[in-house]
Structure 1
Amino acid sequence: MVKVIVSMSNRFRNSPNPDLLHVATIGRAVGLKGDLNFNLHTDFPEQFTKGATFELENGVIITLSSYNSDRSLVHIVGYDSPESAKTLTNAKLFTTKEATRERCKLGKGEFFWFDLPGLFIYEDEKLLGNVLEIERIGVQDYLSIKTDSLLVNQGAAETFLIPYIDHFVKNVDVAMKKITVIGGIDLLEAS
């Protein structure tokens, strides 16, 4: 299963730097101590710990003093009043791939979204294309595939989707830049 660090397919377009990952957006100020609503764009809430630092769109580095996952609230060091906290409303928090790898531990068979684009899709040793990006539609993740030019020249669609579920995805080898699928040819032909 793909465990994602970012759930938005346009994760890099919202970033001031293409090497940064958009992991959360700050909401409105709540209460009298500068707490803020916090909207996650990640499957790894454990990275939001006291002392964790993130970059805002304007390049400012902020440090978390607390995160309450039950109430979706965050408190930022130095923003201790409703007035100062309001200046962060709608700010996007970014982190690096390196920090993500350090803070977020993957289980066996789990991968970060940013590891999959560029990997080649094969079925029965036949190259179908390569991963453009991961798209989340509803609760399901899909591999968005750019079809191999040889297949496009034979009349195949230029792009197609493969659901990222065990029924279709049989093996992912990030080091070899290869994903092996079953039923991908049928999905391409139906596209």
Structure 2
Amino acid sequence: MQEKFDILVAKCGKSIGLKGEIHLNIYSDFLDIFTRGNIFRCGDLMLTLESFNVHKNSAKFSEINDIESAKMLNSHNLYSSKTLTEKYCNLGENEFFWFDIIGLKIYDGDLLLGEVAEIERIVGVDYLVVNVDRDLLDSGASSNFGDFGNSSVGVSSKNSKKKPKQKIFLIPYIERYIIKTDLKNKRILTQDTLGILEES
């Protein structure tokens, strides 16, 4: 089975010069992924990296050799594979790939809030885009779990009567809210995130 190239690493920008060089808007934290010879998918094209200028964030692909071809890639996303990402991107302690976090369950205390659908980076901060748990939407937090003002979640009783209205909400992936990312049990333990949902 052919491996999928579905890990977003960059977006192609404007062409540079006459020989097909392209400016990249980088989404990956690991520039080693842009190693000469690596393969990327851009739309229906499979591209081989010929060179990468780390100072200019510009790339030259073997298959793109003129300005017109380069212009056709403008605004198209560039994808790597999971295998190549794991090979070239060395994680530090308490660091995780986005594709490992997507699909994890979000808990605030013992309360299941939902599941990570995707991750967005906004002004340098990663946000978990969470699909709210359907049971929570259908019943409302207060009807299932009583007065949260007296619980370890730390949400005041003033807000505990609110029923989540949105199917999606955002959680900043920062220490203020994230207690532990538990890949083994496929969950993320958080604090004070029910309040974010109720105020969304």
TM-score, normalising length: structure 2: 0.74
Quickly say closer, same or farther: Cα 1:156–1:92, change in 2 above 3 A. closer
Amino acid at match of 1:167: R
Q: Which residue of 1 aligns with 2:61?
A: 76
Q: Larger Rg: 1 or 2?
A: 2
List structure 1 runs of 4+ shifted beyond 6 angstroms.
Answer: none
Asked whether the equivalents of residues 5 and 41 of structure 2 are also in contact (C-alpha less than 8 Å), the reply is: no
Task: Pick the structure with more helix per residue.
Answer: 2
Count of residue pairs the alignment pairs up: 174
- Percent identity, aligned pairs only? 37
Equivalent residue in structure 2 for 1:46, among 32, 41, 52? 32
Alignment partners' CA distance in 2, 1:53 and 1:71: 20
SS at match of 2:87: helix
Alignment partners' CA distance in 2, 1:145 and 1:70: 35
Amino acid at match of 2:94: G
Quickly say closer, same or farther: Cα 1:189–1:83, change in 2 above 3 A. closer
Alignment partners' CA distance in 2, 1:35 and 1:117: 33
Deviations 1:78-124 (A, max 9, x none): 54454665555555422112221112111111112222222111122
SS at match of 2:90: coil
Equivalent residue in structure 2 for 1:156, among 152, 155, 164? 164
Shift of 1:181: 0.5
Shift of 1:48: 0.6
Quickly say closer, same or farther: Cα 1:89–1:189, change in 2 above 3 A. closer
Shift of 1:156: 2.4
SS at match of 1:187: helix
Across the aligned residues of Structure 1 and Structure 2, the Cα RMSD in angstroms comes to 2.5
Q: Which residue of 1 aligns with 2:120?
A: 135
Quickly say closer, same or farther: Cα 1:170–1:28, change in 2 above 3 A. same
SS at match of 1:111: coil
Deviations 1:3-30 (A, max 9, x none): xxxxxxxxxxxxxx97612322333432
Quickly say closer, same or farther: Cα 1:140–1:65, change in 2 above 3 A. same
Is 1:167–2:176 an aligned residue pair?
A: yes
Deviations 1:111-169 (A, max 9, x none): 12222222111122222222222223332222222222332212223332221110110
Shift of 1:172: 0.2
TM-score, normalising length: structure 1: 0.77
Equivalent residue in structure 2 for 1:65, among 50, 71, 75? 50
In the alignment, structure 1 segments of 5+ residues that lack a partner are 1-16
Alignment partners' CA distance in 1, 2:170 and 2:65: 46
Alignment partners' CA distance in 2, 1:25 and 1:142: 19
Alignment partners' CA distance in 2, 1:120 and 1:130: 4
**Which of 1 and 2 has higher RCO (CA within 8 Å, sep 6+)?**
1
SS at match of 1:29: strand
In the alignment, structure 2 segments of 5+ residues that lack a partner are 141-162
